Amino acid sequence: MLDALKPKKSTIILYLFIPVAMFVFTVFVPLVTAFYFSFFEWKSGQTIYTAFYTGIDNYKTLISDSIFWKSFGNNIYLVVACIIGQIGLAFVLVMFANSKLTIGKAVHRTFGFFPSTISAVCIGLIWSIIFHSKYGLLNWFVVNVLGGAKQAWLGDSAHVMLYVSIPLIWQFIGYYMVILFSAIAGIDQQIFESAEIDGANGFQTAVHITMPMIMPTLLVCLTLCIAGNMKAFDSIWTMTAGGPGYSSYVMALYGYTVSFSQSNMGYGSAISVGIFVLSLAVIGGSRKLIGLLTRGLGE
């Protein structure tokens, strides 16, 4: 009977082939073609058929391209800000929400998660309105409550990266809260009760019990956070288009501008490969670093 219900091996392979083919087509093929075209000069007026091979010229340009490295620095800024803002704040909020004194835990979870379901372009537009220098909510607060002067927030080159980080942090706090909620739910409640009997306060419980016990989940969060922010694009594009000047350029935005606004597909492909390599290096490096740090803590 069971044999009759069990599908044939070839059927299983055929079904499995669909997601594999989709993955290959949407991830592997673009990556390989981007790598291939990164060795070509393919500018406005040239087609895929008339682009010509230039060896590693695009990579030489990339290495000495100050805008690319400034964009990479901005990505790192975003990563650090979002690790602190998204995962750090999410952890703190989860600790509060998990307290016995908190009422309506499900409401916190639902409303906290809600912003992460909104499209990044909408988030960018919402926050552009909040930051708007004449009609924005933030300036209304600064003028009417704090008695300060109106600011052109997104025109401040020195701090614009902080301002474009805020919407990203706001959007994904709830996302990490949900992950951390589920991780904490897996910890045996008797451990918390024992700690409470031993006189541990909330902070001590969070740092010495909760954090070490959900460390694998925190590492996953960290990887997701780094990967997400190394490819940040849409909300920044909507809010500042990378401006003023190159102040809020991130790597994906620079690659997009070079490829499509400047019609330089060859160099744009080299930038894409650069983003891929640097993202892998940052994710790999951070995992190694965390591994070393946690090993130290264990001892």
User: Which parts of this chain interact with another protein (CB under 8 A)?
Assistant: 42-50, 132-134, 150, 152-155, 157, 240-247, 257, 260-265
Least distance in angstroms from the C-beta of 243 to another protein: 5
Least distance in angstroms from the C-beta of 162 to another protein: 15
Residue number with CB closer to another protein (26 or 204) = 26
Residue number with CB closer to another protein (14 or 48) = 48
Residue number with CB closer to another protein (23 or 52) = 52
Least distance in angstroms from the C-beta of 121 to another protein: 13
Residue number with CB closer to another protein (107 or 241) = 241
Least distance in angstroms from the C-beta of 180 to another protein: 36
**What is each CA distance from 102 to 98, 105, 188, 205, in whole angstroms?**
7, 7, 20, 17
Residue for token digits 């991130």?
250
DSSP-H helix ranges across the chain: 2-5, 9-23, 29-37, 57-63, 66-82, 89-97, 105-113, 120-131, 137-144, 160-185, 189-197, 202-205, 211-213, 215-230, 234-239, 251-256, 265-298
Least distance in angstroms from the C-beta of 123 to another protein: 18
Residue number with CB closer to another protein (57 or 195) = 57
Q: Running DSSP on this structure, what letter comes out for residue 41?
A: E
What is the three-class DSSP state of 146? coil
Q: Are 274 and 40 in contact (CB under 8 A)?
A: no
Least distance in angstroms from the C-beta of 298 to another protein: 47
Residues belonging to the chain: 299
**What is each CA distance from 66 to 76, 280, 286, in whole angstroms?**
15, 21, 24
Residue number with CB closer to another protein (66 or 117) = 66
